[in-house]
Chain A
Amino acid sequence: MSEPIPIVNYLVLGEAPHLVSYECTNCKARFFGRRNACASCFGSEFNQVEVATTGELRSFTIVAFAAPGVEVPFVSGIIDCDGTSVNANIINTKPDPEHVVLGMKVQLATYSMGADADGVEAIGFGFEPIEAA
């Protein structure tokens, strides 16, 4: 059985799935994509750091109309993960303004996108509400 593959290279799978980002060693600005120099301070040294897997929903939209092939409705959210802003779908809850609320606490969740012709499974991610017990 081959290893599953993440939807994007900044999702790390395994026991505790999480997002990783480049972090400028000088000013700590974070970037999901590679940079030649830091967009904030122009420094050119970066470390790879883990992004917090829980956060607060700072903004969202419920997309009801999208390009052909994109399943709707879905919720796109901006999540403040302990100071690092992340864009992801809000999943595992109903896509309506009663269930998706500004300021709610969310956590990273992964899901299977199915297997390809070689039997390799792709794994996607989103953020789901942290249920109040």
Chain B
Amino acid sequence: MSKQDEVWILGINMTKFGKYPDRDIVDLGAEAIQAALKDAGVTMGDIGILAAGNLMGAGGIGQMLQKQVGQTGIPVYNVANACATGATALRTAVMAIKAGECDYGLAVGVEKLAGAGLLAGANRAEENDTWTPEGRFGAVVPVDGRIGTATMPGVFAQIGMEYGHKYGGADFELFAKISEKNHSHSTLNPLAAYNKEMSLEQIMNDMMIAYPNTRPMCSANCDGAAAAVVVSGATLKTLSLEQQRRAVKISASILTTDPWQEACQVLPDVNTLTRNAAKTAYEKAGVGPEDLDLVELHDCFATAELVHYDNLMLCEEGGAVDFFNSGATWRTGRMPVNVSGGLQSKGHPIAATGIANIWEVCQHLRDECGNRQIEGAKVGLAHVIGLGSACGIHILEKSAA
């Protein structure tokens, strides 16, 4: 990649994740945008494209946010890609810069999810007096609960259990230990929705949602927003030394979907598209998994984190259980994973997640992460999965300036 083609993160911000009963998605998105602009040292007047993500709202979040922070007539892309929405928004801004359409881009993701309860798995509607086949499968009743589960905790439980069946060693306790790690990490993150240490016993004895995932092993529904300002490499060179020093290089920005696999019609395959994205990302960035100083991966459930150790090639194929048991993924280990607390404890305001995980990596690369700083971090990876499916991977590198 030539210098001209490089794209950098110039400013980035996430709001504290949590409950905001008195603030709406526009308030939260605007807070993240203004903080990201300030962090970048630019204004809405510099921005040439806005990509905005919000999944649970009525649509048109980008234009709503412009009216709140600055209406300049620039193109807006409202993007939706399940839990990969934030990463997709960022990549949209990156592509606009690579295409030479503008010098500065802005990406934002925002969600209000506190108290949302269980995602997917439709409420069962009133049943007819007579059995009436409906829909693509001619179902006479809603099938969630009668033909398997459509709920996220159940789907991802099956994904983790499938790995356990294939390679062995993954049991309830192992998955709970992964959650114990992330809850422990979050105690150092003041922006996390939850900051409580949880013991293995507490996690295993908490309310069972979908075996082996208990409640603390599921991503925490909460409110929050994150935004990032991206800039072309050529423009960055014209900016102040301080801006150049704090800028973070996007060495790879990859988006994949799930290619056909035999079982994907009955259990989403979150593995192949992640592995494909990781391979491409490492290749583009010219780094390998061994070069990573930290990883923020999509631990929407404890069962998901395990399979992504393998998919991101942080360990050898089939070796995720041993890899975790070695202690590698604790913040003191050789490959810290989800030092932010991850989705299980930092929280998962869906559309914000794919930018918030990049914020976390950037804070470490800028050496601005306070008491949870991974010392000397130079390269990091952020990963998200949206079921359906979409996978976004960004590899980020510390500035040499």
B257 vs chain A, min Cβ distance (A)? 12
Q: Does A70 contact B (CB under 8 A)?
A: yes
Q: Does A71 contact B (CB under 8 A)?
A: yes
User: Residues of B contacting A6 with CB < 8 Å?
Assistant: 138, 140
B124→A7 contact, CB < 8 A:
no
> Who on chain B is nearest to A83 by CB?
B262
User: Residues of B contacting A102 with CB < 8 Å?
Assistant: 161, 164-165
Question: Which residues does A use to contact B, with CB under 8 Å?
Answer: 5-10, 29-34, 39-40, 58-72, 74, 76-78, 83-89, 97, 102-103, 113, 116-118, 120, 122, 124-125
Residues 128-181 (chain B) with a chain A CB within 8 angstroms: 128-131, 133, 136-141, 143-149, 151, 153-154, 157-159, 161-162, 164-165, 172
A7→B130 contact, CB < 8 A:
no
Residue of A58, A65, A122 near B141 (CB, 8 A) is A122
B266→A85 contact, CB < 8 A:
yes
Complex-state Cα separation, A85 to B148, whole angstroms: 13
> Who on chain A is nearest to B261 by CB?
A40
Q: Does B265 contact A (CB under 8 A)?
A: yes
Which candidate, B39-47, B59-67, B77-85, B208-216, is the interface stretch facing chain A?
A: B208-216
- Of listed A63, A84, A124, residue having the most chain B CB within 10 A: A63
B131→A122 contact, CB < 8 A:
yes
A61→B140 contact, CB < 8 A:
no
B118→A66 contact, CB < 8 A:
yes
Complex-state Cα separation, A103 to B166, whole angstroms: 10
B124 vs chain A, min Cβ distance (A)? 3
Question: Which 5 interchain pairs have the tightest Cβ spacing?
Answer: A69-B124, A9-B138, A70-B145, A61-B157, A85-B263
User: Residues of A contacting B130 with CB < 8 Å?
Assistant: 116-118, 120
- Of listed A62, A76, A118, residue having the most chain B CB within 10 A: A76
Complex-state Cα separation, A28 to B362, whole angstroms: 47
Q: When each residue 183-217 of chain B gets 1 if its CB lies under 8 Å from chain A and 0 otherwise, what string results?
A: 00000000000000000000000011111110000
User: Residues of B contacting A39 with CB < 8 Å?
Assistant: 260
A34→B141 contact, CB < 8 A:
no
Range, interface on chain B: 35 or more
Q: Does B74 contact A (CB under 8 A)?
A: no
Complex-state Cα separation, A25 to B372, whole angstroms: 56
User: Residues of B contacting A9 with CB < 8 Å?
Assistant: 133, 137-138
A64 vs chain B, min Cβ distance (A)? 4
Complex-state Cα separation, A18 to B353, whole angstroms: 43
B159 vs chain A, min Cβ distance (A)? 8
A52 vs chain B, min Cβ distance (A)? 14
> Who on chain B is nearest to A56 by CB?
B165
- Of listed B128, B131, B139, B211, residue having the most chain A CB within 10 A: B131
B165→A70 contact, CB < 8 A:
no
> Who on chain B is nearest to A122 by CB?
B131
Q: A7-B143, A33-B137, A103-B165 are in contact. Are A85 and B267 (CB under 8 A)?
A: yes
Complex-state Cα separation, A7 to B154, whole angstroms: 21
User: Residues of A contacting B118 with CB < 8 Å?
Assistant: 65-67
B266→A63 contact, CB < 8 A:
no
A104 vs chain B, min Cβ distance (A)? 11
B210 vs chain A, min Cβ distance (A)? 5
B140→A7 contact, CB < 8 A:
yes
> Who on chain A is nearest to B172 by CB?
A97
